[in-house]
Amino acid sequence: MKKIIFGLGALCLVAFTSCKDNAAQKIDEANVAVAAERDAVASKFPVLVFDKTEHDFGEIEAKTAVETTFNYTNKGDAPLVITDIKSSCGCTVPQDWSREPLLPGDSGKFSVKFNGSGSNKITKTITVTANTEKGSELVKITAFVKPDPNKAVPAKS
């Protein structure tokens, strides 16, 4: 038991006496300047601003395809890169957006097609994934889908 205590004591003595260097003296001022510049640039984000965040198609016939376009502008301080645009269901298809970086002040657009499925009031969400501070932005489409006149109505018993 005495050997274990003596061994731990010697290990602690070596550990505490070997760390004599002052950590503050090891900081390289050139690295601090580079890190500060990197952090200043990293805090600049693109800002994705839409001309509209919701489009209402109004009343449409069932199974009637409709389309709208969402226009957007990069109002931030860094190039905007849209990596993906997805809808909340397969009946809504976003398409035709540029995957190239959009410089600050420049504008772009994408279209959204809805195939008219469903009935009554529908709302579909489109998620735009980009290098903004939030990481994603949302736009919506809404419509009132009238019942299909050709669809057979079940007979009442």
CA pseudo-torsion sign 95, 88, 61, 156: positive
3-state secondary structure at position 43: coil
Cα–Cα distance measured from residue 68 to residue 62, given in angstroms and rounded to the nearest whole number = 17
Report the DSSP pairing between strands 107-114 and 48-50: unpaired
Instruction: Give residue 19's pLDDT.
Output: 58
Strand, coil or helix: what is 151? coil
pLDDT of residue 23: 62
pLDDT the model gives residue 20: 60
Ranges of residues in the chain with a pLDDT under 70 are 15-26, 38-43, 149-157
Whole-model pTM: value is 0.67
Q: Between vectors from CA 42 to CA 128 and to CA 110, what angle results, nearest 5°? A: 20
Mean pLDDT of the chain: 83
The pLDDT assigned to 40 comes to: 66
pLDDT (0 to 100) of residue 9: 79
